Structures are given as C-alpha cells and as structure tokens.
Amino acid sequence: MQGPADAPLTLLEYGDYQCPYSGRAFGVVERLQLHFAGRLRFAFRHFPLVDQHPRAMPAALLAEAAADAGSFWGMHALLLSHQDSLEDADLSRYAEQFGLPGTGGTRAHYQRVDEDMAAGRSAGVRSTPAFFVNGVPHEGGFDFDSLRETLETAEKRVIG
C-alpha cells in the first residue's frame, strides 16, 4: 500500500503489467495521489490476463520478488513504464538493476499472484484495470476526472 494507513480514501487497482490500459492508468493514479495527498491510500493487486498478455505473469512474479526486497513500488513503476520490454532478458536486466537474485517465480510469488487473482474474480473483475474506491467497484472510466469524481463523492460520504 502507498499512502497513510488512516486515509479516508482507498483506491484499489487490479492490473496487468502488459495491459496498455493498465499502463495508461499508471499516470492517472500518480496524478490522483498528488491531488488527494494525505487523504488517499493506494493498493495494487495482480490480475494478469495471461491469455491476452503472456508476459504479464512473469512481470507480476518479478514485482513480487521485488516486494520481498522492499522494492515493489519501484519495480511496479518500471514494469508499467516499459510494457513493451517484458521479455525474459528484459526482466533479468530489471532484476539485476534492483539487486534481485532472480526474476521471481517461487511458490510464494505464484501464491500471492494467485490470491490476488482469486480475490479479483470474487469481486467481479474481468478486465484490467479494474478500480475499487473504499471497497466499491468504480463503474466509470479510468481517466483522471472520472476517478477523481468517484473519490470526491466517496470522501464526502466518509467525512459527512
């Protein structure tokens, strides 16, 4: 999670590192974090659409390997910023850049990705990115204005 634990707003994204829409949403989330500074907590969960994006799972596993080293968010940003470079050689280079012993793929990494995917399926996620605001599915677009409006409405409910 990024942001204060006691933030009145939580934005949860289910995403796929090879999905171009998840890539576009990355910049939107960064803008939202600045806009709602101190009032927004952000969480990312893996939802690799492996049939459409075969490199999404290896990228998710690398992100989990980075999480073990305390570098999830840096790797997350790198992967989403380089969606056109997710081949094994690219992932190995990223792992080396972060001082990781490998590109992931341990049983624990698979388990964490599988848990994220199961939670997403249970919540009705079918495509990426999928957003939830304070646990409620965001039905609008994933552009800045749509998400900002949903977050502002949720904040009014929380603050009263």
Residues 89-139 have pLDDT tens digits of 999 999 999 999 988 889 999 999 999 999 999 999 999 999 999 999 999
Total count of domains within the chain: 1
b/e code 55-93 from CB counts within 10 Å (16+ = b) = bbbbbbbbbbbbbeeebbeebbebbbebbeebeeebbee
Q: What's the domain range around 108?
A: 9-159
Kindly report the CATH number assigned to the domain that includes residue 70: 3.40.30.10
Kindly state whether residue 28 falls inside one of the protein's structural domains. yes
Cβ–Cβ < 8 Å for 14, 42: no
User: Which pLDDT score, from 0 to 100, does residue 48 have?
Assistant: 98
Mean pLDDT of 30-59: 97
pTM score, two decimals?
A: 0.95
**What is d(CA 34, CA 137) in angstroms, rounded to the nearest whole number?**
22
User: Which pLDDT score, from 0 to 100, does residue 160 have?
Assistant: 67
Kindly state whether residue 2 falls inside one of the protein's structural domains. no
Sort strands 136-137 and 130-133 into parallel, antiparallel or unpaired.
antiparallel
**What is d(CA 42, CA 35) in angstroms, rounded to the nearest whole number?**
13
Kindly state whether residue 136 falls inside one of the protein's structural domains. yes
